[in-house]
Amino acid sequence: MATSVRDNGTLLFPLLSFEFQTPLATYDIDTDRWVHMGKLAEPYQEAFAAGSPGIARYYYRVFLASLSDSTVLTSYAGARDLQAFNIETGDQWLLGRIPERFRKGQPDTLWQRFAFPNRDGGGLPHDWSSDGVGMWVLSDGRIAVVHIDNDYRGEPPQLGFDYTPYLTVLDPQEDTACIDLPLPIGDADRPVFDVQGDVLYALERRLTTGLSSELWLLQFPVPLQTDCPEEHRGKGWLQLTSE
């Protein structure tokens, strides 16, 4: 995903660079010039410092959404932190941590399991962590995040797995969150998610008999805090404060 940040033709990309250890890059169309910017999330930095960047190679996706004309929000597939970045001043700060209640979430030792597999490893990331698959800023400034929990099924070798997708909606104005709403989507085929007009869409491929398949486009209006079930409500996700 690329976001146009100015009228002068400069584009901003969520481009995770192992060489520069940066999450973002700008591209100037007129000058054909790339500029890398930002710092990686702490778990990524620690993994690089330990000489084992496995976490960054596995969770290589960086999600990007515009908060304003000059400020963007970034998140990583394998991390809970939400980083804000001012592309005009170069300032970067931690906005908060995505809360988790019903999904697996990301353990604090996630990077260590990659850096020191003989000591802290064992199993695959799907066994003990959620996978972020999308982040969007809604028209009213709230932030929508989708995670997926994967679970292997069957006897070894476990080639197939079930999954459960979750939606979290964060409100930076009120420091409130609607945490880990399970999305009513079939567990056989992983969909592709997007948000348009404050509605979450899921494009899902369903296998039928033989070699046939069907495409289903599902839509879920993103709920307001007042529509969030009580057990899914939370507060205090900003700036690493607790729920």
Q: Which residue has the higher pLDDT, 2 or 117?
A: 117
Q: Where are the domains of the chain?
A: 3-190+226-235
Is 7's pLDDT higher than 80? no
pLDDT classification of 224: cutoffs 50, 70, 90: very high
Give the predicted TM-score (pTM) of the model.
Answer: 0.88
Provide the pLDDT for residue 114: 81
Q: Which residue has the higher pLDDT, 213 or 153?
A: 213
Can you give the three-state secondary structure of the chain, one letter per residue? CCEECCCCCEEEECCCECCCCECEEEEECCCCEEEEECCCCHHHHHHHHCCCCHHHHHCCCEEEEECCCCEEEEEECCCCEEEEEECCCCCEEEEEECCCCCCCCCCCCHHHHHHCHHHHCCCCHHHHCCEEEEEEECCCCCEEEEEEEEEECCCCCCCCEEEEEEEEEEECCCCEEEEEEECCCCCCCCCEEEEECCEEEEEEEEECCCCCEEEEEEEEECCCHHHCCHHHEEECCECCCCC
pLDDT in tens, 45-78: 888 888 888 887 777 788 999 888 889 999 988 8
